[in-house]
A and B are shown apart, each in its own frame.
Chain A
Amino acid sequence: MATKSNTKNLLRQNAIWLVFLIEVVFFGIFSNGTFVTTNNITNIFRQVSYYGIASVGMTFVILIAGIDLSIGSIITLVNMVCAYMMVNMKCHWTIAVLCVLIMGTVIGLLNGLMVAKIGIPALIATFASQTVFEGLAYILTSGMPISGFNKVYPEFNFFARWTLDLPFISIPWGAIIMIACLAIGSFILNRSYFGRYFYAIGGNEEAAELSGILVDKMKILIYSLSGFFAALAGIVMLSRTGSAQATVGKGKEFDVITCVVLGGVSVNGGVGRISGVVAGVLIIGCLTNGLILMNVSEYIQMVVKGLVLAAAVGLDCMSNRGKSN
């Protein structure tokens, strides 16, 4: 009896990894040998790195039962401003990178102030800033793409194009940045008191406040971090595409939310781990990549992603319902 429920628990906790495994096997069989190649694995790493990075911040936000819809437009704005600074203003790439990281953090800070100090619901506050900053990105560049910065500063290719070459496989530096971000996120959640505070706030804000947690400050910190990680994601993306376009971040917040929620972070707050989010990122990354390899159209990809999200969350809800009885 005990071992049976143990295996059941083990299965439930690792269901997400099982889904990932099934997915890999599926594409392995049906992609005519194009999926499991060292080249493609490097490619997948490159593709997932930007939303893996952004999902760290989003995990924190969703853990406190919030949401951040602005990260798509932060990514866009970061792309445009960073490229603009390097090409039009002739800034050194390090200064451009530093500036946009600060900019993303400040946008996050503004979100946090709106949510914590004014009391605007997170959905509305971050939706408002999404609209504002997307508009600003267009205004700044009149919607024209900016490119050529990687010719001036080849070092900028570091973020996505350069790879760390190991004996069997090459890993893009962007993916290494992603792994570092996820590790830092996991460290914050498990080993620092900020993590304890985040879970407490997500579980019960009032009780958290009465336990001495400065809830408003934590919220502002979390939204700022979300902005920071989004900006970093934007930089990696710009390095990968080599050209800044005003539509580049559109809808990306939903990809990131999908990864996080798929990874078992509860939208009700208070529940979730980075390890789950890693699986969520990999599932969505492989799904996108595999479907492209199989020449599935972009619209069908959308349908599949939506279904995967509903199924994953649905399974989670059903197993929770089973537990409470």
Chain B
Amino acid sequence: MSEDFVLELEHIRKEYPGVVALKDVTLQLRRGEVLGLIGENGAGKSTLIKCCSGAVVPTSGKIKINGKTFDRMTPQLAAENGIAIIYQEFNNVKELSAAENMFLGHPIRKGITIDKKAMEAEAAKAFEHLRIKINPRELVKNLSVGYQQMIEIAKAVQQNAQVLIMDEPSAPLTNNEVEAMFDVVELLRKKGVSIIYISHRLEEIFRLSDRIEVIRDGEYVDTLITPQATVDQLIRMMVGREMTQKYPERKPCIDESKVVLELKNVNGNGDKNMSLKIHAGEVLGLGGLVGAGRTELAQVIFGSHPKESGQIFLNGKEINPRSPREAIDLGIALVPEDRKRHGALLGVSIKNNINMPTYDRISKWSVINQKVERQRAEKYREEIQIKCPSINQQVKNLSGGNQQKVILGKWLAADSQLIIFDEPTRGIDVGAKYEIYKLINDLVEQGRAVLMISSEMEELIGMSDRIIVLAEHEMTGELKKEEFNADTIMTMASAIVDQAAEKGVS
């Protein structure tokens, strides 16, 4: 016992029928440290933390908490031993107050009734303790995502959590909320709470963690001391190969003479006065803050929320798509932001997902030509390298990056000329991101046009040929490649917001 470990995972192995999710993973968490846990999607991070929470039973291996050894955890054991997990999806009840949510499952009682006042007082104390400003009586549905997450953290602390595991905590948050969350993490560390922090964003890991553990393909790679680690080194460890470039090179392929999509004064779905042109072989970036009306514009073009006025031209011909079906038949595709809800059909096979928009093209009298169906799926599986044991596998069993590829595959099969990407790499790990960027390059090099919505400034600048910025559902600026500059884009993105703030309207 040379060091003081709160939590130790020793030689954890987890097998599923046909797959080994974890092979011999070891993790040691010191008291009062922040340990960054990184790895690509599908590397086994989630499975590993589920072993700690009791949601998954390891096939072999030991879990040691404060020196006590367990073969497996149960949710109850985990709670008793001070392990708390902040998941990406919160376990809250929207119609209850902040205080009631904090005491969900173990309310303070007075006789047979619930003592609301005592709970509110306790919650207020807990919030103050973490220096967060939440009214305990406020209903959770009225709180922002950031505050909802704070309640989860406060709840964990209130239940004397010694180990706090945070799974991609910054993913749903705005920049300001992320800062507030960092402050809370720092505060907890000072109070002696040990934290496992999982994130795709390496800059967060560098800022918060004391040590970084890397896992890859279900195997332990290494643990580094944060000040001694570099970004390149970490990426190399995660993907298992050299990654010198973040954005792959693209051959110049813009055909200025060929306008694929043109909008003239389009209004609809909240957006006002949208006018833009996308050329063949061009990636047009759409920048702006969350809620600026970018996704709404994509929905107008894709026909899921038809326009109210203005004109849309595709290859010079006026169009008016009134449903995704019509848009798809015209050659327009949308890779939506929320992959799991809107993009892939998770319970359906890869083969069926890829063919779904175009079954009418490979059927006669509605009877599918199953040979062509299979061939097409195999073709795109190979062409865009979807990693899967078989095309009959359900999409829900794929990693995020591969799910995104399946969605892209179905649009390639539909022979789309204009592909709209809404946050193409959200929640996708570094290695898979690079592959998605390469695929986007392939698309434009083949002469297709791409409209890319992105909230990641680096990605927007790195991938776009031109950028249009939206703010408050209006266009506030357009930048050519040589004018790209993060500050300018940010200024444009907040242009109208500031004016409104000056007028005292929020």
Contact = CB atoms under 8 A, between A and B. Distances in A.
Given A200-B345, A204-B341, A212 B356 contact: yes
B360 A204 contact: no
Interface in B320-345: 323-325, 328-329, 334, 336, 341-345
Interface size class of A (residues with CB under 8 A): 20 to 34
B304 A192 contact: no
B304 A270 contact: no
B345 A192 contact: no
Q: Is the interface of A mostly helix, strand, loop or mixed?
A: helix
Interface size class of B (residues with CB under 8 A): 35 or more
B363 interface: yes
Contacts of B334: 210
A208 B358 CA distance: 12
Interface in B229-244: none
B56 interface: yes
A35 interface: no
Contacts of A271: 347
B346 interface: yes
Contacts of A5: 17
Given A203-B347, A210-B336, A196 B359 contact: yes
Interface in A151-201: 191-194, 196-197, 199-200
A117 to B, nearest CB: 14
A214 B366 contact: no
A197 B336 CA distance: 20
A309 interface: no
A208 B370 contact: no
A209 B324 contact: yes
Nearest to A193: B359
A142 interface: no
A192 B366 CA distance: 5
Interface in B348-369: 348, 352-353, 355-360, 363, 366-368
A156 to B, nearest CB: 32
B208 interface: no
Interface in A199-224: 199-200, 203-204, 206-214
B57 interface: yes
A214 B358 CA distance: 12
Interface in B380-429: 410, 414
Contact of A193 (B304, B329, B345, B360): B360
A12 to B, nearest CB: 12
A325 interface: yes
A213 B348 contact: no
Given A191-B368, A214-B325, A196 B344 contact: no
Contacts of B304: 209-210
Contact of A196 (B347, B356, B410): B356
Contacts of B360: 193
Contacts of A194: 366
Given A193-B363, A210-B324, A211-B410, A200 B356 contact: yes
Nearest to A209: B324
22 contacts: A5-B17, A191-B368, A192-B367, A193-B359, A194-B366, A196-B359, A199-B352, A200-B345, A204-B341, A204-B345, A204-B347, A207-B341, A209-B323, A209-B324, A210-B302, A211-B345, A211-B356, A212-B325, A212-B358, A212-B414, A213-B325, A325-B57
Given A191-B367, A211-B353, 16 more contacts: A192-B366, A192-B368, A193-B363, A194-B366, A196-B348, A196-B356, A200-B345, A200-B348, A204-B345, A204-B347, A206-B342, A207-B341, A208-B345, A211-B410, A212-B357, A213-B356
